């Protein structure tokens, strides 16, 4: 890879990052306006909040499965084809939402169509950005994925304003247009291929250094079947479930927990604002200086452990300032852990099937996103307290940290990857 692509100078890779950020603003940002529409839909149709929320659960499940397949397609097709089809499906689904009259239509358009939309962007974007960067891969991924948070922070209040002014049906149409507009930079800019050396994980690169023990493979890298036979692949799966479970337990239940502690609802709502603000430096600064100082493996270990500690400390917490501090710590660690985890994949498995590997990683993340809110709610219903839910989330994150410590590198370091790659490939791989 050209020096300017991997060190400090400007490269076309940063154009890819910018286009990816805008794309995720449209695909994920529109989906994350869900809560803004909840009361309007309930008031008009008489649907329960549980019934409406089921569409979001469906969307997360569909996105995980779709992300798995779209990641593999990204390895074989022009990424613009994958993204283009997905954005058309997503935009059409939002336009159709404007004319819905039944709950099954909401599940079809928002759950299935919206799930396809977000699932078809996350893994392809992660794979494409990964191919353009080496030393600053975690930082580049962090900036690109920041589009998810930026979309939620900007489109949610815009949607709330539009609902008040024009009604929820017109707002859904406008969001459909937003999806298409945000996809345009990606459709024009993501087609350029990275330099040939960007497709390789270079031996002795500073991608976390020898302290990470991260194996560098050939330019081709492992097939998905070869990767799945390694311990680091299952580390990626375990950390995905653990990180997403912990985060979504908090996302769904932190405000109710704060109000249960006697904090006023309007004041408690500011906790999410603090969380959103803290996530931005986590996405950028956390991925930059932590990976430089510790390497990817130990950075992910520290970030998982940090989230676990914050969840455990929520159990005795009752004061507002403590909720602010812990919410900020959780957001910082979560926002940094996601791109750092993804940036580990190319040095571990090469770039031959990076889309497929990250597709599986996203599937694991989606499983955690599905399980976290449900488990938190179930535990509260059974115990009338969130304490056990926070402890469970912390334990899962400790298991994730342990998997990073044990399996964050190939056995025998580079020699093990070489052995895997030298095996005779089976037909169909």
Inform me whether the pLDDT recorded for 319 exceeds 80: yes
- Identify whether residues 114 and 72 lie together within a single domain: yes
Q: Is residue 203 part of a domain?
A: no
- Identify whether residues 191 and 221 lie together within a single domain: no
Q: What is the pLDDT of residue 88?
A: 93
**Which segments within 190-326 are labelled E, that is strand?**
none
Q: How many domains does the chain have?
A: 2
d(CA 121, CA 355): 11
d(CA 47, CA 41): 7
Distances (CA, A) of 251 to 146, 158, 276, 334: 17, 21, 11, 12
Q: 76-85, 263-272, 376-385: lowest mean pLDDT where?
A: 263-272
Q: Is residue 345 part of a domain?
A: yes
Q: Is residue 120 part of a domain?
A: yes
d(CA 301, CA 340): 10
- Identify whether residues 183 and 96 lie together within a single domain: yes
Q: Is residue 321 part of a domain?
A: yes
Helix H segments across 167-223? 168-189, 209-212
Q: Is residue 428 part of a domain?
A: no
Tokens 């219903």 belong to 381
Average pLDDT, the chain: 78
d(CA 132, CA 144): 12
- Identify whether residues 193 and 292 lie together within a single domain: no
Tell which of 198, 232, 254 closes a domain: 198
- Local structure of 321: helix, strand or coil: helix
- Identify whether residues 144 and 64 lie together within a single domain: yes
Per-residue three-class SS string for 32-90: CCHHHHHHHHHHHHCCCHHHHHHHHHHHHHHHHHHHHHHHHHHHHCCHHHHHHHHHHHH
- Identify whether residues 226 and 157 lie together within a single domain: no
Is the pTM higher than 0.85? The answer reads no
Per-residue pLDDT reduced to its tens digit, 165-213: 899 999 999 999 999 999 999 888 877 776 644 444 444 443 333 334 3
- Identify whether residues 107 and 170 lie together within a single domain: yes
Q: Which residues contact 276 (CB under 8 A, 6 or more apart)?
A: 149, 152, 153, 331
- Identify whether residues 66 and 130 lie together within a single domain: yes
- Nearest Cα residue to 174 out of 94, 61, 79: 94
- Identify whether residues 228 and 185 lie together within a single domain: no
Domain range for 23 is 3-198
Per-residue pLDDT reduced to its tens digit, 61-95: 888 788 777 766 766 767 788 888 889 999 999 99
Question: Which DSSP letter does residue 351 get?
Answer: S
């Amino acid at each position: 890879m050209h020096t300017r692509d991997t060190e400090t100078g400007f490269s076309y890779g940063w154009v890819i990052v910018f286009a990816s950020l805008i794309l995720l603003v449209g695909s994920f940002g529109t989906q994350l306006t869900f809560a803004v529409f909840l009361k309007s839909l309930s008031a008009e149709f008489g649907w329960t909040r549980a019934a409406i929320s089921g569409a979001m659960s469906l969307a997360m499940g569909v996105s995980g499965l779709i992300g798995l397949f779209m990641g593999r397609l990204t390895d074989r097709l022009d990424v613009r084809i994958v993204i283009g089809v997905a954005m058309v499906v997503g935009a059409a689904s939002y336009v159709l939402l404007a004319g819905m009259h039944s709950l099954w239509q909401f599940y079809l358009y928002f759950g299935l169509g919206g799930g396809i939309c977000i699932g078809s962007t996350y893994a392809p974007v992660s794979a494409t950005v990964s191919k353009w960067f080496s030393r600053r891969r975690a930082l580049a991924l962090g900036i690109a994925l920041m589009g998810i948070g930026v979309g939620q922070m900007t489109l949610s209040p815009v949607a709330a304003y539009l609902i008040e002014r024009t009604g929820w049906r017109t707002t859904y149409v406008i969001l459909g247009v937003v999806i298409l507009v945000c996809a345009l930079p990606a459709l024009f800019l993501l087609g350029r291929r990275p330099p040939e050396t960007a497709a390789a994980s270079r031996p002795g690169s500073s991608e976390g250094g020898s302290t990470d023990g991260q194996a560098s493979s050939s330019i081709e890298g492992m097939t998905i079947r070869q990767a799945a036979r390694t311990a680091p692949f299952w580390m990626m799966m375990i950390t995905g479930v653990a990180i997403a479970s912990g985060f979504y337990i908090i996302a769904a239940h932190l405000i109710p927990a704060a109000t249960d502690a006697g904090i006023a609802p309007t004041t408690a709502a500011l906790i999410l604002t603090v969380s959103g603000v803290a996530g931005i430096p986590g996405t950028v600064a956390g991925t930059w200086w932590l990976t430089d100082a510790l390497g990817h493996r130990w950075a992910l270990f520290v970030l998982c452990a940090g989230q676990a500690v914050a969840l455990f400390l929520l159990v005795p917490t009752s004061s507002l300032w403590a909720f602010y501090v812990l919410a900020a710590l959780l957001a910082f660690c979560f926002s940094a852990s996601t791109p750092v985890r993804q940036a580990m994949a190319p040095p571990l498995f090469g770039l031959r099937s990076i889309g497929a590997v990250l597709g599986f990683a996203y599937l694991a993340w989606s499983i955690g996103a599905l399980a976290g809110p449900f488990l938190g709610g179930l535990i509260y219903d059974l115990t009338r307290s969130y304490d056990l839910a926070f402890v469970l989330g912390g334990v899962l994150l400790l298991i994730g940290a342990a998997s990073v410590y044990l399996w964050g590198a190939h056995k025998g370091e580079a020699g093990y990857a070489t052995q895997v790659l030298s095996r005779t490939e089976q037909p169909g791989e």
